[in-house]
Every structure is written in structure tokens, then in C-alpha cells.
């Protein structure tokens, strides 16, 4: 129960990494605000946690909506009286296409969700962390834009992920005096449903042919990592076990990015 007495906010908690982390945080003793833009989905996550004896409240908001995020964070802080852990995990792959075919609207949607969404989450949460006297912020970035640049057409997505890592490093220094740690998790191939919101269009036009050894994930012989694997890393970074770690991106990809970067 290493998070006993702590209050956590997890965005994108309706499925995948966010859901796995929220469930694990609750099992470790935290009261969790689980947030998604999909009402039915996030209520199921909250119900799963409470059925197992944990504490959770569902929060419905689009992470790119300023007013909605302010309201959601305020509700969580009022419900449990504090906020100690923020996992800014919500994100989309968006449209992957050659730069001359990627529309401004497609670019803006990816930036709005991944980058503006991270900014708004932290913008509204940080005052509560300061009031609590410290805490831990986690941001889900990616191997794309940080180690891997060979996924054709993923320019908008990769730019948001590179920017998230830069944000983490900037804020780690800015918030250190408030005893707030800030770290990034950079997953590779994980068994989530993020591909469901990926649209690929004519990416072959942007490809640079390459041949790699057999197996995209060397550590597992090509098998994807699990959301639970990432949740365990998130728990470590949220807990006092990582109390001297901040401003650090951690790649969790079974050496995938070392092979295909």
C-alpha cells in the first residue's frame, strides 16, 4: 500500500495504459480520479476499482478543453481534499500522412489532444500539488520523436512526443523547489487500442526502405509489451521509491527503439 493516503489523477484512464495504471494505483492505496472523454468507458474503470475495494471517481472531460479540465481537477481535489500524483497519459496517434498531404485540421487535432491536453492537465493540477507540499507528475510520451524517427507519416504525433519530453525536463527544474518530481514514460509497442484512433494515408510515399533483424521487440522476440508492464513503471515513478528521479524519460520498449530508430 505504498500510495496509501495519496490522491492521483489519471487521464486517458478508460482503457490501455491509463486504465492499468489507475487500477494499480488504487490497489496500492491511492484514491484515483479516472478521466476520459467517454462517459461509459470511464465509469466502467471507476466501478472496477470500487468493486475491488478501492476508491475512484469518474471524471468526464476532453483534455484539450480548458474549462472542462479545470472543472474535473477541481472536483477531484474537492472530493478527496488534495492531489499528489498526476499521470498525464491521454493521447492519440491521429493521422499519419506525408507532410504535404497532412491537413491543418489533422495536425491541430493531434497537437490539441497530445500537447495542449498535457499542458492543461498540468496547468490545472500543479497548484494542488504545490498545496500538498510536493508530488509526482508522469507524462506518457513515446519512442516516436524521442528515439525513433522511421515511422513514415508520424510527424505530428512525433512532434508532440518530443515536446512532451522537453516539457518534462523544463518542469522538473521549475517545480523542484516545490518538491514536485516530473518524469516521462516512453512506451514502444504496447498491447493497447491506440491503433483504433490512428489513420494512415499514403504513408508509403514518406517511407525510407530499411531492413531490420527478425523481431521488432528484441527482448520478447517481437511480442508487444503489456499495459500492466507500463503501469508497474508508472507506480514506481509515482511512489517514494523514485524520490530522487526527476526530469527523466524512461523508455519501456524491450529494446525496440534501439533496433528500429
Catalytic residue among 80, 119, 157, 212: 157
Could you give the count of Cα atoms lying within 13 Å of 165 in the half-sphere of its Cβ? 19
- 228 burial (CB, 10 Å; 0-12 / 13-18 / 19+) is middle
Number of alpha carbons in the 13 Å side-chain half-sphere of residue 85 = 30
- State the pLDDT at residue 198: 65
**Residue 85 phi, psi (nearest 5):** -135, 135
Q: How many CA atoms lie within 13 A of 156 on its CB side?
A: 27
Distance between CA 95 and CA 51 in Å, rounded? 37
Q: CB of 86 within 8 A of CB of 69?
A: no
| Strand partners for 77 | none
**pLDDT of the residue at 202:** 64
pLDDT computed for residue 125 by the predictor: 98
Q: Is 157 a catalytic residue?
A: yes
Please report, to the nearest 10 degrees, the dihedral formed by the alpha carbons of residues 212, 218, 224, 228 taken in order: -150
pLDDT band at 229 (very low <50, low <70, confident <90, very high): very high
Percent above pLDDT 70 for the chain: 91
Taking a C-beta distance cutoff of 8 angstroms, is the pair 147, 212 a contact?
no
Does the pLDDT value for residue 214 go beyond 90? no
State the pLDDT at residue 196.
57
What phi and psi values does residue 225 have, to the nearest 5 degrees? -70, 170
Which one has a higher pLDDT value, 197 or 93? 93
Indicate the pTM of the whole model: 0.92
| Per-residue confidence (pLDDT) for residue 203, from 0 to 100 | 60
Which of 31-45, 114-128, 192-206, 227-241 is least confident? 192-206
Question: For residues 170 and 137, is the Cβ–Cβ distance under 8 A?
Answer: no
pLDDT, tens digit, 9 for 90 and up, residues 73-85: 999 999 999 999 9
Amino acid at each position: 500500500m505504498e500510495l496509501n493516503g495519496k490522491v492521483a489523477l489519471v487521464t486517458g484512464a478508460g482503457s490501455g495504459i491509463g486504465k492499468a495504471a489507475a487500477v494499480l494505483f488504487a490497489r496500492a492505496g491511492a484514491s484515483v480520479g479516472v478521466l476520459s472523454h467517454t462517459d461509459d468507458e470511464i465509469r466502467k474503470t471507476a466501478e472496477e476499482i470500487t468493486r475491488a475495494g478501492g476508491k475512484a471517481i469518474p471524471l468526464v472531460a476532453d483534455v484539450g478543453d480548458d474549462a472542462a479540465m479545470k472543472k474535473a481537477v477541481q472536483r477531484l481535489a474537492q472530493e478527496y481534499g488534495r492531489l499528489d500524483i498526476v499521470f498525464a497519459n491521454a493521447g492519440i496517434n491521429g493521422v499519419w500522412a506525408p507532410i504535404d498531404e497532412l491537413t491543418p485540421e489533422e495536425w491541430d487535432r493531434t497537437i490539441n489532444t497530445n500537447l495542449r491536453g498535457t499542458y492543461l492537465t498540468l496547468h490545472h493540477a500543479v497548484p494542488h500539488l504545490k498545496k500538498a507540499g510536493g508530488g509526482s507528475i508522469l507524462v506518457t510520451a513515446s519512442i516516436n520523436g524521442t528515439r525513433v524517427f522511421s515511422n513514415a507519416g508520424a510527424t505530428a504525433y512525433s512532434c508532440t512526443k518530443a515536446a512532451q519530453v522537453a516539457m518534462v525536463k523544463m518542469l522538473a527544474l521549475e517545480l523542484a523547489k516545490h518538491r514536485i518530481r516530473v518524469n516521462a514514460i516512453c512506451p514502444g509497442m504496447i498491447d493497447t487500442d491506440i491503433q483504433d484512433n490512428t489513420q494512415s494515408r499514403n504513408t508509403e510515399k514518406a517511407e525510407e526502405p530499411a531492413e531490420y533483424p527478425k523481431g521488432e521487440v528484441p527482448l520478447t522476440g517481437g511480442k508487444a509489451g503489456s499495459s500492466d508492464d507500463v503501469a508497474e513503471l508508472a507506480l514506481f515513478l509515482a511512489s517514494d521509491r523514485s524520490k530522487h528521479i526527476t526530469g527523466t524519460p524512461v523508455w519501456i520498449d524491450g529494446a525496440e527503439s534501439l533496433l528500429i530508430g
